[in-house]
Amino acid sequence: MKPRRGSLERPRRSPLLTVVTGIVLIYSVVPLLWLFINSTKTQSSLFSSFGLWFSGEFALWDNIVATVTYNDGVFLRWFGNTILYVVAGAGGATFLAIIGGYALAKFTFPGKRAVFAVVIGAIAVPNTALAVPTFLMFSRLDLTNTPWSVIIPSLISPFGLYLMWTFASEAIPTELLEAARVDGAGEWRTFFTISLRLLAPGIVTVVLFTTVATWNNYFLPLIMLRDPAWYPLTIGLNSWNAQAATAGGEAIFNLVITGSLLTIVPLIAAFLLLQRFWQSGLAAGSVKE
Amino acid sequence: MALSADATAAIIPPTAHRQRRSWLPWTFIGPFMAVFALVFLAPIAYSLFISLFRDQLVGGSVFVGLDNYVRALNDPQFWESLTRVSLFLVVQVPIMLGISLFVALALDSARLYGSNFFRIAIFLPYAVPAVVAALMWGFMYGTRFGLVGNLNDLFGVSLPNPLSPDLVLVAIGNIVTWEFVGYNMLIFYSALRVIPHSLYEAAEIDGAGQWRVVRSIKLPAIRGALVIATIFSIIGSFQLFNEPSILQSLAPNAITSYFTPNLYAYNLSFSGQQYNYAATVAIIMGLVTMLVAYAVQLRGMRKEA
C-alpha cells in the first residue's frame, strides 16, 4: 500500500473495527486449527477429548505415516494423480487463458463480440447441465475412467480468461506493441519476447486460481472416474470417509483428518509464499496509480 | 446469452484499437475456443438433444418431444429441490456477500490493525477443497464427538443437532459461507483498491466523512464487482452439490437423493440410469439460473437514479 495523504487518506486505526473484523477472522481460522489439532490425535483420543485442544500423545507423525502407508500407499497415488491433473489441467488452462485473454485485450478481430458473449453466457450454465452430457460424450469416446476425462474439461477457465483479459489490457502499453510491429516483429514473437514478461503477476494469479480449481475439483472426477487408481485426493478422502458408514468398513477418521490436512497444506503454502505476486495480479488496475 | 450489452460494456476492459482487422489474433484465441466448444458447447447441444428422447425397455431410444420437460414440471421431487436451493440462495447469498463486503470495506478503510494478516487469513478457507471443508465441519457438527458434543458436555446443555433434517440446510449454508467469504472479500477489495485517489481528495475537500465516502464513492465504484459476485454466488447456489453429497454419509436421514436439483440430476443418471430425464432437469436448472442471473444483472447494472 502506498502512503496516503490527508486525514481521509490516513485515518486513525479503530480498535472496535479491528475487533468486529476479528470475529470474521476467528470464524475463518478456527476450523483450520481444529483440523491441525485433531490430526495430532490418535483415533481413540479423537473421540474422547475436547476438539479445540491437544490431548493424549502427539500422534501427528504416526498419523502421517499411517495415512501414506494405508492400503499400500494409495494416498500417495492419489496425491500423484492430483499433481498430474493440476500440472496438465491447470497448466493448460493457464496457457489458454493467457493467450486468449491477451488476444481479447490487445487485438481487434472478427468475431470478438461473439467470443465474449459465448464465454460469459456459458459461465452461467451450471455444471450440472454439462456434467451428464459430458460424461455420456466422453464415454462414447472411451475417455471416461482415464486421466483425460479429468484433464480436458479442466483446460477451460472462463474466470482465468477474464482475469488475464483485464490484466493484459492494463499491463501492456499498446505503444510498445506498435513499436514492435514497426520493427517488424511477428505477433507471436512480440508476445513471447515482450508481453509475456509484463504479464507475469497476472499469470501467477491465474495459475493459483486454476490450480485451486483443479486441486479441489470433486464433481468432475466423481462422475468420470470409477477406478480408485485414478482418483484425485478429494475423491479418495471422501471414499475413506464413506468407508466408515458401510457395513464392515473400517472407521479411519484419524486418517481422513490427517489426509485432509496433507491435502490443504500445499495450496495454503502456495498462497502464502506467492501472495505478493497474486495479489498484485488480482488488483489488475493498480498499475494505474 | 446471460448478460446484456449493457453489462458487456461495463465488464469489457478498454481495448486497444488496431487499424487493420485481421484473422491472426484467432491463433491466440482459437485454442481456447476449440477446447471450449468441446467441453462447453458440444455437451450443451448434446443434452438438449437427448432431453427429447426416452429410453424404453422395448424399442430403445424413442423421440418423445417435450414429454421430459412436462414430466419435470409436474415432478414434486424436482420442485422440492428447487424450492430448497431457492430458499438457500435468498438467505445464504446476502449473508455471505454482506460479510465479505464488510471485511473488504474495513480492510480498505486502513483503520484496521494488522490488515495484511486479516486479508490473508480470511482468504485461506478458499484454498480448502469443498470435500475437506464439508468433512471438517461435518465432524465439528457431530453431537457425539464433535465440537457441538464437546460444548454440550462442557456446559451441560443440549444444543440441537446441526445435522438433523431441520437444521441441515443451515449447516450447509454455514459451510458454503465459510468457504467463500474470503474469496468474495478479495474480489471486492481488489475493486476498491483501484478507485482513483483523486476522488477521495475531492470528497475530503467537500467535507465528506467516512460513511459518506463509502456510500457515495466506494459502493457505486465497485458495483460491477458486486454484480459479478452476486451472479457467481447465485450460480453456485443453484449448483449446490458437493457439500450435501459429502455430508450425506454423516446425515443420511437428513439429505435425500433429491436434496438439490444437482444431486437429483446426478442420482437420476448414475443411480437410476435415467440419462434423458437427468439431462432435462439439468437444462431446466440451466435456464432458471440464466434467467435469475440475467435479472440480477439487469437490476444491478441499472443506472443509479
Query: pLDDT tens-digit profile of A63-110?
Result: 999 899 998 989 999 999 999 999 999 999 999 999 999 999 999 889
In the numeric block, the cell 434423458 is attached to B276
Return residue ranges of chain B for CATH 1.10.3720.10. 74-304
Three-state DSSP at B271 gives coil
Q: Is the ipTM of this complex over 0.85?
A: yes
Closest-CA distance, A72 to chain B, in angstroms, reads 22
**A288 pLDDT higher than 60:** no
Predicted confidence band at A53 (pLDDT cuts at 50, 70, 90)?
confident
A233 neighbourhood in chain B, CB within 8 Å: 129
Closest-CA distance, B305 to chain A, in angstroms, reads 27
Tell me, what's the pLDDT at A3? 45
* A window 247-286, beta carbon within 8 A of B: 253, 256-257, 260, 263-264, 267-268, 270-272, 275, 279, 282-286
Closest-CA distance, A149 to chain B, in angstroms, reads 10
* A window 89-118, beta carbon within 8 A of B: 96-97, 99-100, 102-111, 113, 115-118
Task: Among A47, A132, A289, select the one facing B47 at the smallest CB separation.
Answer: A132
Closest-CA distance, B181 to chain A, in angstroms, reads 9
Predicted confidence band at A285 (pLDDT cuts at 50, 70, 90)?
very low
**Sign of the C-alpha dihedral, residues A222, A226, A228, A232?**
negative
In sequence order, what are the residues at sequence separation of 6 or more whose Cβ sits closer than 8 angstroms to the Cβ of residue A47? B144, B145
Indicate the range of A122-136, A179-193, B12-26, B284-298 predicted with least confidence: B12-26
B130 neighbourhood in chain A, CB within 8 Å: 216, 218, 234
Beta carbons within 10 angstroms of residue A273's beta carbon: 9
What is the rounded average pLDDT for all residues in chain A? 85
Three-state DSSP at B62 gives strand
**Contact between chains at B131 and A170 (C-beta distance less than 8 A):** no
Tell me, what's the pLDDT at B245? 92
Please state the separation of Cα B81 from the chain's center in Å.
Answer: 16
Please state the separation of Cα B219 from the chain's center in Å.
Answer: 21
| Inter-chain CB pairs, A–B, below 8 Å | 348
Tell me, what's the pLDDT at A289? 31
Predicted confidence band at B303 (pLDDT cuts at 50, 70, 90)?
low
A18 touches chain B (CB under 8 A): yes
A128 neighbourhood in chain B, CB within 8 Å: 239, 241, 261-262, 265-266, 281-282, 285-286
Tell me, what's the pLDDT at B207? 84
pLDDT average, residue stretch B206-220:
87
Tell me, what's the pLDDT at A252? 81
**Contact between chains at A132 and B135 (C-beta distance less than 8 A):** no
In sequence order, what are the residues at sequence separation of 6 or more whose Cβ sits closer than 8 angstroms to the Cβ of residue A125? B40, B44, B286, B289, B290
Give bridge partners of residue B63 from the DSSP assignment: B53
A16 neighbourhood in chain B, CB within 8 Å: none
Predicted confidence band at A9 (pLDDT cuts at 50, 70, 90)?
low
Tell me, what's the pLDDT at B21? 65
Tell me the C-alpha to C-alpha distance, in Å, between residue A96 and each of A116, A219, B28, B34: 15, 22, 8, 10
Tell me, what's the pLDDT at A260? 94
CB-based burial, B87-108: b 16+ in 10 Å, e otherwise: ebbeebbeebbebbbbbbbbbb
Predicted confidence band at A128 (pLDDT cuts at 50, 70, 90)?
low
A134 neighbourhood in chain B, CB within 8 Å: 39, 43
Tell me, what's the pLDDT at B52? 93
A212 neighbourhood in chain B, CB within 8 Å: 126-127
**Distance between CA B198 and CA B187 in Å, rounded?**
22
Over residues A212-265, the pLDDT tens digits come to 999 999 989 999 999 999 999 999 999 998 887 776 667 788 899 999 999 999
Cell of A45: 483420543
How many residues make up chain B in this entry? 305
Tell me, what's the pLDDT at B93? 96
* A window 61-90, beta carbon within 8 A of B: none
Nearest to A198 by CA among A101, A63, A76, A62: A101
B147 touches chain A (CB under 8 A): yes
The model's pTM is 0.89
Over residues A170-187, the pLDDT tens digits come to 888 888 888 888 888 888
A55 touches chain B (CB under 8 A): no
Over residues B17-36, the pLDDT tens digits come to 444 568 889 999 999 999 99
**A148 pLDDT higher than 90:** yes
> CATH classification of B74-304, choosing from 3.40.430.10, 1.10.10.10, 1.10.3720.10, 3.30.70.20?
1.10.3720.10
Task: Among A107, A137, A288, select the one facing B43 at the smallest CB separation.
Answer: A137
pLDDT average, residue stretch B136-146:
82
Q: What are phi and psi of B54, to 5 degrees?
A: -135, 135
